[in-house]
Structure 1
């Protein structure tokens, strides 16, 4: 765990990750690290999570615009977010992935993607009150703890009243694990909860992704609302 924390502080942490993704093909298999066969299971698990989340809300949630963080070629945007929201913005560090999304992968769905934003999450500042949902999947491991807390705090300003942040990430049993290949970290449930708390968020729903191969990390989903939100 100490080595992983040290890796996150090194100058090359972000640069190495950017270099890794530049070498990855703009395909579903590339986005999922060779595990394209889990895409349908992943989307089904996320859809179930969202439907249950909407059902537990006291007020009918607004389903106008969502932000897809670490969007890649738009797999989640196309098959999940645009199935629930009228418009989506895609935030992605690799311009080649965004080009593939816009020109090919999204097809007609590209017409409902309002912004293709090429930027790392550590630098992104959302437009105030733009999003009803901010979806972060398999991307927060590319932020060190300090930048992750800052990013999550900025998300609050980008949400409409009653808006939520949803996080879907790999999870270690305990502590922190560093992946040298793609320059990312995998956090435990305890560390995620600590970061959410420090960032000002309350967990309003959480669930484990089911039916993934046992050789993969467990994957967990959290829905977050701002602590002072009267609608939580």
Structure 2
């Protein structure tokens, strides 16, 4: 087991090191693809609006959590307009500091800024209507991802949702040495979600992204 533990430690510390060097800007958050931000947000908004509201099985709009929030790009444009309160969690303190100015006036409705890696983060039980996890699951090992999803499930309010939005590879697991992450295929993501004890309520592919980047899928889980 020693090797695995050592590899894991390196996997996480290398990723932390990578993000420490990234400028705290929208372009930095999106790896130079800042131009796709609006397409991404509009797709996410349409997806989320199908799940929110009044009525049976619909999800409330009290409190959301932005996982791997960076400077708060998603909080600012997707979550704060739809939820009363938003919490941000990210491994890089500099990004969270930047978020405080980047979010502007609406940032007053941020509940907590939490500086932690998701592998170590325990969200508060029963706090969230929506837990949004975008472009960050590749930074977790399979086991840590499943454990994190289980903790997220406990953190949901009644009818709450966990949303994963991420790149999927065409086949298998593709490592990215640059930012110390992996990209999994859809079948593997489905399998990990199931093993974490969650069901997929709704799933879509994000359209209109540049052809050269991986397909991006959004999954709502409960």
Same fold (TM over 0.5): yes
2:200 corresponding residue in structure 1: 203
Closer, same or farther: CA 219–32 of 1 in aligned 2, 3 Å: same
> How far off its partner does 1:8 sit?
9.7
Tell me if structure 2 keeps the 8 A contact 1:171–1:188. Answer: yes
1:48 corresponding residue in structure 2: 46
Distance in 2 between residues matched to 1:72 and 1:11, nearest whole Å: 21
Taking structure 1 as the reference length, what is the TM-score of the superposition?
0.91
1:228 corresponding residue in structure 2: none
> How far off its partner does 1:79 sit?
0.2
**1:80-91 equivalent positions in 2, closer than 5 A:** 80-91=78-89
Any idea what SS the aligned residue of 1:196 has? Answer: helix
> How far off its partner does 1:147 sit?
0.4
> How far off its partner does 1:9 sit?
4.2
Any stretches of 5+ residues in structure 1 without a counterpart?
1-5, 226-232
1:13 pairs with 2:19: no
Tell me if structure 1 keeps the 8 A contact 2:206–2:215. Answer: yes
> How far off its partner does 1:55 sit?
6.9
1:128 pairs with 2:132: no
Closer, same or farther: CA 28–110 of 1 in aligned 2, 3 Å: same
Distance in 1 between residues matched to 2:43 and 2:155, nearest whole Å: 26
Distance in 1 between residues matched to 2:86 and 2:54, nearest whole Å: 23
1:28 corresponding residue in structure 2: 26
**1:1-232 equivalent positions in 2, closer than 5 A:** 9-54=7-52, 58-102=56-100, 104-225=101-222
Number of residue pairs aligned between Structure 1 and Structure 2: 219
> How far off its partner does 1:162 sit?
1.2
Tell me if structure 1 keeps the 8 A contact 2:58–2:159. Answer: no
> How far off its partner does 1:10 sit?
4.0
CA-based RMSD: 1.7
Question: CA deviation digits over 1:172-212, x for unaligned, max 9?
Answer: 01100000000000010000000000000000000000000
Tell me if structure 1 keeps the 8 A contact 2:162–2:221. Answer: yes
Any stretches of 5+ residues in structure 2 without a counterpart?
none
Any idea what SS the aligned residue of 2:144 has? Answer: helix
Distance in 1 between residues matched to 2:36 and 2:55, nearest whole Å: 29
Any idea what SS the aligned residue of 2:50 has? Answer: helix
> How far off its partner does 1:101 sit?
0.4
